[in-house]
Amino acid sequence: MKTQGIVWNLTCIAFSITLLVHKSFSKVTDISFRDQLPLYNTDKVLQLFFLEGPFPFNVPKSAVLKAGALYENFALGHAGLGFRDEDTYETFTLQFYAKNFTGAFFPERGEGLSLSWKNQGAVGFEVADFSLSGWKQALYITEVSGPLFNQFADWLVGGFVKTVQIVQPFSVCSDGQLPGQCLIRATNSYSFVWNSLQVMSILGAHIKKDVPLDLMQTRIILLAKANQSTGAPVEANTEIFAYFITQKTCLRVAFFMTKTLVDFAQSVKNCYLEQTYVHLGNSTYISIKLSPQRILIARSAFKLPDDKVPDPSALSPFDIISLLFLVGICFVGLVSLYLRLSLNRCFNVKGCGRDNSVIFSFDESKFENASLLTQKLLDFSDANIADAEGGK
Which pLDDT belongs to residue 15? 43
Neighbours of 356 (CB within 10 A): 12
Measured N-to-C along each axis, helices 261-268 and 238-257 cross at an angle, to the nearest 10 degrees, of 150
For residues 57 and 28, is the Cβ–Cβ distance under 8 A? yes
Read off the pLDDT band of 12 (50, 70, 90).
Answer: very low
Question: Which residues are registered as beta bridge partners of 122?
Answer: 97
Averaged pLDDT score across all residues of the chain = 78
Question: Which residues are registered as beta bridge partners of 96?
Answer: 123
**Structure-model confidence comparison of residues 337 and 242, the more confident one:** 242
**Structure-model confidence comparison of residues 197 and 327, the more confident one:** 197
What is the tens place of the pLDDT at every residue in 330-344? Answer: 777 676 766 666 665
Residue 66 has pLDDT above 90, yes or no: no
Residue 160 has pLDDT above 90, yes or no: yes
**What is the separation, in whole angstroms, between the first and last Cα of the chain?**
118
- Distance of alpha carbon 152 from alpha carbon 357, whole angstroms: 72
Residue 319 has pLDDT above 80, yes or no: no
What is the tens place of the pLDDT at every residue in 183-240? Answer: 888 999 999 999 999 999 999 998 876 666 678 888 888 988 877 777 788 888 899 9
Instruction: Please name the residue ranges forming H helices in 40-132.
Output: 61-74
H or E stretch covering 322: helix 317-342
Instruction: Report the percentage of the chain scoring pLDDT > 90.
Output: 31
Which pLDDT belongs to residue 25? 44
- Distance of alpha carbon 263 from alpha carbon 261, whole angstroms: 5
Neighbours of 240 (CB within 10 A): 19
Distance from the Cα of residue 121 to its chain's centroid:
22
Query: Average of pLDDT values for 3-11?
Result: 45
Q: Is 173 exposed, middle or buried (0-12, 13-18, 19+ CB in 10 A)?
A: buried
Which pLDDT belongs to residue 3? 44
Query: Average of pLDDT values for 340-351?
Result: 56
Instruction: Report the percentage of the chain scoring pLDDT > 70.
Output: 69
Lowest mean pLDDT among 9-18, 88-97, 176-185, 222-231: 9-18
283: left (phi over 0), alpha (psi -120 to 50) or beta: left
